């Protein structure tokens, strides 16, 4: 799968203001299709999810694709490759999302990695990194 447009997310929610300003709708080309499928699957399962909200006056702007030189997060974070998103749910806690995903992995076939929720108190980080464990990998950021 090489292309996918989410049903529930617009591009502003998934990139920084600088990336949107530089690329507009062509910023979709910078995001990984399988991670976008996973976003829609999470939205369908858990209800409304916020990634970024800068476009409506909110503070989140680096919860999806990040500028390569940002000081936020790890130097080679999956966020810099368009494959990671930090999800804030209106209806369920990060712990609830985390435990549901780990007990229903087949509902999210392209989700390969979660961050340990002990380190992410108000969001759920997922990505689709290419690893060789045969189950969802829970990493400490
Ligand atoms: Zn993250």
What is the per-residue pLDDT for 126? 98
Distance CA 132, CA 30 (A): 24
For 68, the 3-state DSSP assignment is: coil
Residue range 40-68, pLDDT digits in tens? 999 999 999 999 999 999 999 999 999 99
Ion ligand 1 nearby residues (CB, 5 A): 86, 125
Distance 112 CA to ligand 1 centre (A): 13
Task: Calculate how far, in angstroms, residue 24's C-alpha sits from the geometric centre of ligand 1.
Answer: 22
Q: Which two tokens mark 13?
A: 């929610």
Element at 127 (helix H, strand E): strand 124-127
The single residue listed with the structure tokens 């080679």 is 76
Please give the pLDDT value at position 28. Answer: 98
pTM score of the predicted model: 0.96
How far apart are the C-alpha atoms of 130 and 111, rounded to whole Å?
10
Domain extent listing, the chain: 11-139
Domain 11-139, what architecture? 2-Layer Sandwich (3.30)
pLDDT tens-digit readout, 94-111: 999 999 999 999 999 999
């Amino acid at each position: 799968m090489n292309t996918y447009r989410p049903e529930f997310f617009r591009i502003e929610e998934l990139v920084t203001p600088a990336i949107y300003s530089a690329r507009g709708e062509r910023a979709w080309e910078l995001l990984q299709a399988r991670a976008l499928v996973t976003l829609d699957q999470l939205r369908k399962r858990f209800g409304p999810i916020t990634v970024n909200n800068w476009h409506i006056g909110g503070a989140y702007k680096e919860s999806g694709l990040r500028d390569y030189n940002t000081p936020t997060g790890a130097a080679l974070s999956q966020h810099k490759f368009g494959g990671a998103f930090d999800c804030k749910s209106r209806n369920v806690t990060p712990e609830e999302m985390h435990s549901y995903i780990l007990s229903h992995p087949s509902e999210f076939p392209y989700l390969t990695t979660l961050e340990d929720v002990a380190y992410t108190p108000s969001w759920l980080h997922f990505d689709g990194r290419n690893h060789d464990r045969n189950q969802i990998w829970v990493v400490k950021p």
